[in-house]
Structure 1
Amino acid sequence: MLSYRHAYHAGNHADVLKHCVWLCCLEYLQRKETGLRIIDTHSGAGLYSLTAEREKNREFDTGIGKIYNQPNLPEPLAHYLASVRESNRKTLALYPGSPLLTSHRLRPQDELWLHELHGADHALLRKNLQGKKRVYVKCEDGFAGLRALVPPPTRRALVLIDPSYEIKSDYQKVAEALTQASRRFASGCYLLWYPVVDRARIDTLEKQLRQSGIGGIQLFELGVRPDSPGHGMTASGMIVVNPPWTLWSQMEETLPWLAAELGENGQGYYRQETISE
C-alpha cells in the first residue's frame, strides 16, 4: 500500500511552492519568542539525492533546477533557496525536505514532530535527523499524530499536512483532519498541500473546506500547464489556515514569477484566493 517514495519527485515545481510557503510561515511565527510546536504529518526521508541512479526522471530539472542559480529573485524565493543551499556545497546535489529545512531553524524553545509510516523512509528520516535536539521521529499515522498533538502546551502550532494522495481516500482524510484539528485548536497555523491530477477532487476539497466553518483560509496554487486528466500532476497548491498577515503580499510577488519561470511552453498560471474570511 505504501509504495510512494518522494525521492523520485524531490525538488519538482510542487516542492518549490510547498517549501517556499512553509518557510514564509515558519519565519513569521518565529518572530514571537514563545515556543512553537511544529508538526509534519507525512515527513518522507527528509533529505534526497538528486544524483542517485533512481533520479532518472529528474523532476528537479523543471523545478528548483530552473531557478537555483537565478539572480534577482523575489525575497521569499531567495530565502527558500538559501535554505536549500545549506544542504549543498557548490552545486545542487541534495534536496532537503521539510524536516531538514525546519530542523535547521529550530530554536531552543521549539519542538518538531515528524511522522512517516513507510519503513525505508522512516529509517532514513531517523538517520538524517540523528542528533537533532527537540526533534521527535515517529513511525505512526500522521493524522492520528496530529490529533494527539493539538492543542500544544504553548498554544502555538505550525502544521504541515502533505500526504502523497496515492490512496484516494486521502482527499477526504485531509479535509477531516484539518477540520478536526482546527476545532481542537482554532488558532493554529495549518498548511495543507494538494496535487492537481484530477481537478474534480480539488474542487470537492475546496467545497468541503468552505463548508467546514473554519475561518481565515487562503489558497495559493501554481500550475505549470493546463489541467489534463491522465497526464500526471499539472499543478499543486497550498491551503493555509490562519496564515501570517505577510503571506498574501509575499505570494503576490512570488507566484507570478514562478508561473513565468516554471510554466511549460509559456502555459504556467497561478491562483491566489481567499476561501473563507
Structure 2
Amino acid sequence: MNYRHAFHAGNFADVFKHLLLSRILVYLIRKPAPLRFIDTHAGIGFYDLAGTEAAKTGEWRTGIGRLDATKATPAVAALLDPYLAAVGARTTDGRPLFYPGSPGIAQHLLRPGDRLLLCERHPEDAIALKSVMGRDKRVKVLASDGYATLKASVPPPERRGLVLMDPPFEERDEFDTLAMSLASATRKWATGTYAIWYPIKEAAQVAAFQAQMATLGLARHCTIEILRDAAAGAPALRGCGLFVVNPPYLLAEEAALLLPFICGIFDDAALPPFNGAIRTEAGQLTRF
C-alpha cells in the first residue's frame, strides 16, 4: 500500500472530483431531512500543499492553482462558489493554506443534523483524519476497509445520502472490486446517491468497467469525464471520470456548464488538450 495522495492533492483530478462532489451535496441539502455522507476511502482530510510531498510534484499548480472564479461567467462562478468556499483562503501564488480532501469538503457543506462516516484503511492516516476533523460530533472515523464498512452501513438510518467511492487504484482488480461493492450496496439501498471516481489510463480498462456498470440494471445514472487525447506526450493519467447513481436532476446540466471552463483552465500548451463528456442512462452523449 504505497499510494499517498499528498503528492497529488489539489491536482486537476481533485478539482474535477471535488467540484462535482460539492454540486451533489449542495443539491442534497436543499431538502430539510438529514442525510449521511459515507466516504469509503477518506484519506487524511486536509493536505499541506507547502509540504514535502506536494512541493515535490507541484501538481496543485495546474489544478487548484489555476481555478479562478473571476475568469468564469456569472453562471459558472455561482456553481464554483460552494467548492471554493470549502477550499478557503489562498496565498498570493494561488496555493490554498490547506487543500481539503472529500471529508473536508463534506464537513464544510453539510448541516448540523447531517452525519459523516469516514473510512480510511491506513491506521496512521485514520488517526490523522480523526485529528483534523476535530470534535465534530457529526463525524465518525473508522480505521477500516471501506468496502466492508459500506456493506454493513447501508441503508443508513437517515435513508438519504451520498456514498463516495474513491479508492487509490493500487490493486489490479480495483475496477472489479468497485463494481461488486456498488452492486451489493445498491441492492440494499437502491435510493441512495453513489459517486464513483476512477482514473483514465487505459481505455480498455475503463470500457470494461463501464460495461460492468451497464449490467447492474441501475435505473438512473450518469457518467462525467475529462480526458486528454491519447497523443504523443500525453501523461499516464490522461483524465478521470465520475460515475453517479441516482444523480441530482441538475447535475448533468451543471456539468455541461462546468466542463468547458475547467478543461480550458487545465489545458497546457505542451500537452494534448482536455475534452469533457457526459453520458446519461438513456445513452445520450454530450462532448465539449
Same fold (TM over 0.5): yes
CA deviation profile, 1:31-57 (whole Å, cap 9, x unmatched) = 111110110000000000111122211
- AA partner of residue 59 (structure 2): E
Q: Counterpart in 2 of 1:170?
A: 174
Q: Counterpart in 1 of 2:96?
A: 92
- Structure 1 runs not aligned, ≥5 long: none
> How much does 1:276 deviate?
5.2
CA deviation profile, 1:124-151 (whole Å, cap 9, x unmatched) = 1111112111200000000011111111
CA deviation profile, 1:109-130 (whole Å, cap 9, x unmatched) = 2110000011321121111112
The 3-state SS of whatever aligns with 1:191 is strand
Distance in 2 between residues matched to 1:230 and 1:262, nearest whole Å: 14
- AA partner of residue 280 (structure 2): T
Q: Counterpart in 2 of 1:67?
A: 67
> How much does 1:178 deviate?
1.0
> How much does 1:72 deviate?
2.7
> How much does 1:224 deviate?
4.1
CA deviation profile, 1:191-214 (whole Å, cap 9, x unmatched) = 000001111111011000011111
Q: Counterpart in 2 of 1:250?
A: 254
The 3-state SS of whatever aligns with 2:53 is coil
The 3-state SS of whatever aligns with 1:160 is strand
1:225/1:53 Cα in 2 relative to 1: closer, same or farther (>3 Å)?
Answer: farther
> How much does 1:83 deviate?
1.7
CA contact (8 A) 1:225 1:235 kept: no
CA contact (8 A) 1:227 1:234 kept: no
CA deviation profile, 1:214-268 (whole Å, cap 9, x unmatched) = 1211000012453779942110010100000111110010011111221233611
1:155/1:149 Cα in 2 relative to 1: closer, same or farther (>3 Å)?
Answer: same
Deviating more after overlay: 148-157 vs 223-232: 223-232
CA contact (8 A) 2:29 2:110 kept: no
What number of residue pairs does the alignment pair up?
Answer: 275
Q: Counterpart in 2 of 1:80?
A: 83
Residue 268, structure 1, aligned to residue 274, structure 2:
yes
1:229/1:275 Cα in 2 relative to 1: closer, same or farther (>3 Å)?
Answer: farther
What RMSD, in angstroms, separates the aligned Cα atoms of the two structures?
2.0
> How much does 1:274 deviate?
1.1
Q: Counterpart in 1 of 2:17?
A: 18
- Structure 2 runs not aligned, ≥5 long: 284-288
> How much does 1:92 deviate?
2.2
The 3-state SS of whatever aligns with 2:244 is strand
- AA partner of residue 188 (structure 2): R
- Percent identity over the alignment is 36
Q: Counterpart in 2 of 1:151?
A: 155
- AA partner of residue 186 (structure 1): A
Q: Counterpart in 2 of 1:223?
A: 227
CA contact (8 A) 1:20 1:77 kept: yes
1:247/1:189 Cα in 2 relative to 1: closer, same or farther (>3 Å)?
Answer: same
